[in-house]
């Protein structure tokens, strides 16, 4: 009970938190994820991480086309009048190239929008009509190995457990 009480005091409003790790912290991203959770970031379900200035983005993604997404997830949302249910459907494996083609198709591409608030509004409005597909739990890295440590974090493996918090 003491742990639950302590965690409920961390980020009690479940706001999306922003983090600015140093390059050293960015390299040890698993440790940094634990730090983020210790501050209550997990309560919002996501967090914003701003990479350090030394970090270099990947120049090209063509060499990851054959990377396999073993179990893409389609997120189904049903409901009305403010009461919704979400469930996930595991889809058949696909490559990053196939996923990119799907993401850029007319059904899934980003709609025209005036500003980010307009885009977010369209996302939530459209969620029950077009179920999003996520490419999660991929073995491998999309970081450019030729950049060495400037490429970014090395997350050693997907989490092997989920810490549940019941409030």
Residue 167 lies in a domain: no
**CA atoms of 16 and 25, how far apart (whole Å):** 20
The answer to whether residues 67 and 47 belong to one domain is no
* Alpha-carbon dihedral sign for residues 26, 30, 31, 32: positive
Average pLDDT taken over every residue of the chain: 80
pLDDT of residue 165: 44
**CA atoms of 33 and 19, how far apart (whole Å):** 10
Domain that holds residue 44: 2-58+143-151
Asked if 85 and 55 touch (Cβ cutoff 8 Å), the reply is no
Residue 45 lies in a domain: yes
pLDDT over 70 at 158, yes or no = no
**CA atoms of 128 and 46, how far apart (whole Å):** 21
Q: What is the mean pLDDT of residues 83-112?
A: 91
Secondary structure of residue 124 in the 3-state scheme: helix
pLDDT of residue 24: 92
The answer to whether residues 89 and 101 belong to one domain is yes
Q: How many domains, the chain?
A: 2
The answer to whether residues 37 and 74 belong to one domain is no
Count of beta carbons in the 10 Å neighbourhood of residue 26: 23
CA proximity to 151, closest of 27, 48, 49: 27
pTM for the predicted model, two decimal places: 0.59
The answer to whether residues 66 and 10 belong to one domain is no
Give the model's confidence band at 81: pLDDT under 50 very low, under 70 low, under 90 confident, else very high.
confident
pLDDT of residue 141: 66
The answer to whether residues 76 and 37 belong to one domain is no
- Continuous segment of H or E residues that includes residue 100: helix 96-103
- Continuous segment of H or E residues that includes residue 49: strand 47-49
**CA atoms of 48 and 18, how far apart (whole Å):** 5
pLDDT over 50 at 108, yes or no = yes
pLDDT of residue 8: 57
Residue 100 lies in a domain: yes
The answer to whether residues 37 and 69 belong to one domain is no
Poorest-pLDDT segment among 2-6, 58-62, 91-95: 2-6
Residue 66 lies in a domain: yes
The answer to whether residues 35 and 91 belong to one domain is no
The answer to whether residues 6 and 24 belong to one domain is yes
Q: What is the mean pLDDT of residues 110-137?
A: 87
The answer to whether residues 76 and 121 belong to one domain is yes
């Amino acid at each position: 009970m003491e742990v639950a009480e302590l965690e409920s005091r961390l980020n009690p409003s479940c706001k999306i938190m922003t983090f600015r790790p140093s390059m050293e912290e960015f390299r040890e991203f698993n440790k940094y994820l634990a730090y983020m959770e210790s501050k209550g970031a997990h309560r919002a379900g996501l967090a914003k991480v701003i990479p350090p200035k030394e970090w270099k983005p990947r120049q090209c993604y063509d060499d990851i086309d054959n990377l396999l997404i073993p179990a893409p997830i389609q997120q189904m949302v049903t409901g009305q009048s403010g009461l919704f249910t979400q469930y996930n459907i595991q889809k058949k494996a696909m490559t990053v190239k196939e996923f990119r083609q799907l993401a850029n198709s007319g059904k899934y591409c980003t709609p025209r929008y005036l500003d980010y608030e307009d885009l977010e509004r369209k996302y939530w409005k459209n969620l029950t009509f077009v179920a999003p597909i996520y490419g999660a739990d991929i073995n491998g890295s999309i970081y450019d190995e030729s950049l060495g440590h400037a490429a970014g974090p090395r997350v050693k493996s997907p989490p092997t457990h989920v810490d549940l918090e019941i409030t």
